[in-house]
Amino acid sequence: MKTRMNVAIRRNRQTPCGAPQGFTLLELLTVISIIGILASVAGPGLSNALQAAKANAAMQKARQIALGLRGFALDNGGAYPVGENTFGESITSSNAAFRDLYDYLEDESVFAVKGSNWGADADNKMESGSDYVQAGENHFAYIAGLDTMSRSSWPLVTDGTDGQGTFVTDRKQRGGLWAGKRGAIVRCDGSGSVVRLSRSKGGGARFIPRDDDPQQNALEVSYMGEGVKLLDPEG
């Protein structure tokens, strides 16, 4: 009887295949260590991929804005919003310019980008034009003074900058949404892309490089001619 009980106890402590049940403490610690190493290696790459995907989504929004601007221009002799908008406001910000798109873009959220310090959200309250694209509801900058005949590679809509046409690495500041690594741009021909930002000499501010001269800032707009201005959002 004693021998049979010992056999039964041994069987209860083993799996049908004879292997011990569960893991030892050493095995668990080893697995946890391996997971930690893998996470430390994959973490930065995963974070960078997520940011790139978000920047691409923002660029697609900018393309929708550019399509609205194209529709406005077709109805206004080829000119994009400039001077004064249809609500009598001086166009001194991209918000004021984009209010001219009231009849062209029905979803106000296209102007907002989550995480932006210019405009992270829009309430879609659009009972009148004065409610459209208010301060804090727009992330994007606009280059005023262009028209449908402007050079196709010139920027028309970009990420909102730091107020100086450049970008910063601090995500908590305006112009820092992509941490100084990339920038969304839509050109006059409607093409859009997310470009790698360049750095000014001396390691200063980051900027969107010009297509024809990558050493130059595409948003230093004097090369586009007289009357052209970069307009950041209201905020």
Domain that residue 146 falls in: 51-231
Sorting pLDDT into bands at 50, 70 and 90, what band is 7?
very low
Mind listing the pLDDT tens digit for each residue in 177-222?
999 999 999 999 999 999 999 997 777 789 999 999 999 999 999 9
Model confidence at 47, pLDDT cuts 50, 70, 90, reads: confident
Predicted confidence at residue 35, as pLDDT, reads 76
Tell me how crowded residue 147 is: count the other CB atoms within 10 A of its CB: 13
* Least confident range of 69-83, 94-108, 194-208: 194-208
* Dist. CA 96–CA 94, nearest whole Å: 5
- Write down the pTM of the prediction: 0.81
Residue 160 falls within a domain, yes or no? yes
Asked if the structure places residue 3 within a domain, the reply is no
Q: Is residue 208 part of a domain?
A: yes
Number of domains within the chain: 1
